[in-house]
Amino acid sequence: MKRLAGQNIALGRIDLRTRSALLFVVYALRNAEETLFMPGWLAAQRPDFLWPGPAQYAVAAALLTLTGAAIVILSNQGRHSGAWAWIMAVFAGALLMATVGQVLMSLGTLSLMPGAISGVALQAPLALWVLAGLVTRGRITPRGAALATLAGLMLTPLAAGGALRLAAVLMA
């Protein structure tokens, strides 16, 4: 155990509410990072493709951030039990897999995709920490954590595409 501010603190003792709140803070910061840098990065990768503009991307990121906030708040209110444990696990799994995708895209394009470094340094470890907390506290099984991560992998492009489409409708 490490000493912090005169008290013994163990990472395993930090509750799920705090873990999920920290994960959301990192998610919101990464969405801001991606809002600033993703449109330019995408245009540099495929200048011939008509990508969403910065404003549409910002609205989509705001919608996704609000959705993440709702998931964390409602999961915390539900004490991460039952369906809320699963919803939080899918959210954490989606954020974990989004980081994996950004690393793979960075390798595939030989350029640093926005969010890849902060994802590896912050988002992926926090997502794993939330998933581990759900498992160790008996909210889901290890197999459940794996299935939730797989579900998050499948839902990530749907959520991003849906948010971009809704942003286009809202901006029209």
- Give the total number of structural domains in the chain: 1
Residue 64 lies in a domain: yes
Q: Is residue 114 situated within a structural domain? A: yes
pLDDT at 7: 56
- The reply to whether 66 falls in a domain is yes
Structural domain boundaries, residue 56: 16-36+52-171
The answer to whether residue 137 sits within a structural domain is: yes
- Each residue of 125-160: pLDDT tens digit? 999 999 999 999 999 999 999 999 999 999 999 999
What's the 3-state SS for the chain?
CEEECCEEECHHHCCHHHHHHHHHHHHHHHHHHHHHHHHHHHHHHCCCCCCCCHHHHHHHHHHHHHHHHHHHHHHHHCCCCCHHHHHHHHHHHHHHHHHHHHHHHHHHHCCCCCCHHHHHHHHHHHHHHHHHHHHHCCCCCHHHHHHHHHHHHHHHHHHHHHHHHHHHHHHC
81-127: pLDDT as tens digits: 999 999 999 999 999 999 999 999 999 999 999 999 999 999 999 99
Q: Is 94 a member of any domain?
A: yes
Domain assignment present for residue 46? The answer is no
